[in-house]
């Protein structure tokens, strides 16, 4: 989350004291003494918030507010008012100020307002980024969400294999979106304007294979859970690959296809023909930092589908989502988003088969992750919130393989 504050106050002593308070709370401060000095930092791409005194010589806080809203009408501006300026501040609120505070203001009153403004700004910027991603002509960026290194590597791999026209094996855990990745590969391929035919491999008859290849001619045929393809259909598909026919075969597998080959349950020849290029989809457990982005996207989709406004998603809720392992991956996260939109309470996951020590470890891990989520990945703040010595906190992070940087937004 953005932690930048543009601080504007003509009183040097007040400006310095406020800047020190902000910096002690892990905020990046740009301090200015006038509207003229501040305006050069204000642009639509400014990723922070503004805190400004109202009464300043020359152009005052109202000028700054108007200028900021002209540059970006969703840029939060918090105004500082002196004694007797409350009616003026209320007027400023009606003109679009985010909030106002009376000077002198204690850190206990000042900081929560700024945290709300920063969270609002972060959400606006994230929504804009997602919108740009959806509008881009690159299907890999438009349809495969996430900013983690694992998500970036998956998109890089998709971009690399798609134009080749070779067969591709897409692997991933159940519910990870194998068919979606296969569709993106098709869209980015030379045959992207042709048909995209997808069928489950289980129970597919040998004679149906030739029919599907004819249907997908000039495009791509995607066979989901290819490890379930019956033996006769395997040889029929291998024959189609050997004779060509103007169709690209994309195969998906959420199980150990190579293990099935070793066990004699899948044709080695067909496996090697399908495994020319491979794209692996990382599980949500491997990239918890992508969960908030994905969940917001699914919530927006679910709200549109239900015909209602998307509810606000708290940071605590996102932190709780990040604390889960999500064995059902994207599919289960989509279901959770729908329940969230419809206001249905989540049922607690059963801890069957686990002893007390294992259950307590799960709870401890969840609390650590939730604290990091609330603290935006700042380990020192999370340790303080849990009232743990920093060494103890870091030892626990190491024990559970938790990285604070995965929870920074």
What's the pLDDT at 106? 80
Look-up: residue for tokens 């970036």? 152
What's the pLDDT at 143? 66
DSSP 331-370: HHHHHHHHHHHHTPPPPPPP-TT--HHHHHHHHHHHHHHH
For the four alpha carbons of 227, 232, 233 and 238, in that order, the dihedral sign comes to positive
What's the pLDDT at 350? 39
Last residue of a domain, one of 282, 300, 316: 282
Same domain (yes/no): 165, 272: yes
Residues 108 and 25: their CA atoms lie apart, in Å, by: 12
Same domain (yes/no): 119, 184: no
Pairing of strands 220-224, 49-53: unpaired
- CATH number of the domain to which 275 belongs: 3.40.50.300
Residues 6+ apart with CB under 8 A from 267: 231, 234, 235, 238, 261
Same domain (yes/no): 144, 277: yes
What's the pLDDT at 351? 38
The b/e string for 60-70 (b: 16+ C-beta within 10 A; e otherwise) is: bbbebbebbbe
Same domain (yes/no): 104, 197: no
Same domain (yes/no): 151, 253: yes
3-state helix, strand, coil split of the chain in percent (to 5) is 55, 10, 35
Same domain (yes/no): 251, 144: yes
Same domain (yes/no): 125, 145: no
What's the pLDDT at 127? 64
Last residue of a domain, one of 108, 133, 158: 133
Same domain (yes/no): 115, 233: no
Residues 220 and 218: their CA atoms lie apart, in Å, by: 7
Asked if 253 and 226 count as a contact pair (C-beta separation under 8 A), the reply is yes
Same domain (yes/no): 314, 355: no
Q: Which long-range contacts (CB under 8 A, 24 or more apart) does 257-263 make?
A: 257/169, 257/171, 257/226, 257/227, 260/227
Last residue of a domain, one of 314, 346, 378: 346
CB count within 10 Å of CB 87 equals 9
What's the pLDDT at 352? 39
Asked if 53 and 10 count as a contact pair (C-beta separation under 8 A), the reply is yes
CB count within 10 Å of CB 358 equals 11
Asked if 82 and 111 count as a contact pair (C-beta separation under 8 A), the reply is no
- CATH number of the domain to which 322 belongs: 1.10.8.60
Residues 6+ apart with CB under 8 A from 233: 201, 204, 205, 206, 208, 209
What's the pLDDT at 83? 63
Asked if 75 and 50 count as a contact pair (C-beta separation under 8 A), the reply is yes
Backbone angles phi, psi at 2, to 5 degrees: -60, 140
Q: Which domain holds residue 64?
A: 4-133
Burial of 213 (0-12, 13-18, 19+ CB in 10 A): buried
Encoding tokens for residue 183? 């569709």
Same domain (yes/no): 173, 239: yes
Residues lower than pLDDT 70 in the chain = 1-2, 83-86, 89, 126-127, 129-137, 141-143, 345-360, 362-363, 366, 408-409
Same domain (yes/no): 63, 176: no
Residues 96 and 50: their CA atoms lie apart, in Å, by: 13
Asked if 291 and 318 count as a contact pair (C-beta separation under 8 A), the reply is yes
Asked if 36 and 57 count as a contact pair (C-beta separation under 8 A), the reply is no
Stated pTM of the model: 0.57
Same domain (yes/no): 338, 380: no
What's the pLDDT at 89? 66
Q: Which tens digit of pLDDT belongs to each residue from 340-352?
A: 888 776 643 333 3
Return the DSSP state at 248.
E
The three-state DSSP-derived secondary structure of 119-169 is HHHHHHHHHHHHHHHHHCCCHHHHHCCCCCHHHHHHHHHHHHHHHHCCCEE
How far is CA 200 from each of CA 36, 98, 170, 270, rounded to the nearest angstrom?
Answer: 64, 52, 14, 17
- CATH number of the domain to which 110 belongs: 3.40.50.2300
Number of domains observed in the structure of the chain: 4
């Amino acid at each position: 989350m953005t932690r930048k504050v543009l601080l504007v106050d003509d009183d040097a002593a007040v400006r310095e004291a406020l800047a020190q308070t902000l910096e002690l709370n892990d905020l990046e401060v740009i301090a200015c003494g006038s509207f003229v000095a501040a305006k050069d930092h204000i642009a639509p791409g400014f990723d922070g918030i503004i805190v400004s005194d109202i009464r300043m010589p020359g152009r005052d806080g109202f000028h700054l507010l108007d200028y900021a809203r002209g540059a970006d009408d969703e840029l939060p501006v918090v105004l500082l008012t002196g004694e007797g300026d409350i009616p003026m501040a209320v007027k400023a609120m009606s003109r679009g100020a985010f909030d106002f505070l009376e000077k002198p203001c204690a850190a206990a009153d000042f900081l929560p307002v700024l945290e709300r403004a920063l969270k609002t700004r972060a959400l606006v910027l994230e929504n804009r980024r997602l919108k740009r991603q959806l509008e881009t002509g690159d299907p890999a960026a438009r349809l495969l969400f996430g900013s983690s290194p694992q998500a970036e590597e998956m998109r890089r791999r998709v971009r690399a294999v798609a134009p080749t026209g070779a067969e591709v094996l897409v692997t991933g855990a159940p519910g990870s979106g194998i068919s979606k990745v296969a569709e993106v590969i098709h869209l980015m391929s030379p045959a992207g304007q042709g048909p995209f035919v997808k069928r489950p491999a289980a129970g597919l008859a040998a004679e149906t294979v030739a029919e599907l290849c004819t249907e997908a001619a000039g495009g791509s045929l995607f066979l989901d859970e290819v490890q379930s393809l019956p033996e006769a259909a395997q040889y029929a598909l291998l024959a189609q690959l050997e004779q060509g026919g103007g169709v690209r075969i994309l195969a998906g597998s959420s199980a150990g296809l190579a293990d099935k080959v070793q066990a004699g349950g899948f044709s080695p020849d067909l496996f090697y023909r399908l495994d020319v290029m491979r794209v692996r989809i990382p599980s949500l457990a491997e990239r918890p930092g992508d969960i908030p982005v994905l969940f917001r996207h699914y919530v927006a989709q679910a709200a549109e589908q239900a015909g209602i406004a998307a509810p606000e998603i708290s940071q605590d809720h996102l932190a709780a989502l990040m604390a889960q392992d999500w064995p059902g991956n994207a599919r289960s996260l989509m279901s959770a988003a729908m329940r969230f939109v419809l206001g249905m309470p989540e049922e607690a996951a059963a801890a069957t088969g686990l002893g007390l020590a294992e259950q307590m470890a799960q709870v401890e891990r969840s609390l650590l992750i939730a604290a990091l989520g609330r603290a935006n990945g700042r380990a020192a703040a999370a340790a303080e919130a849990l009232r743990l010595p920093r060494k103890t906190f870091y030892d626990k992070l190491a024990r559970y393989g938790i990285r604070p940087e995965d929870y920074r937004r």
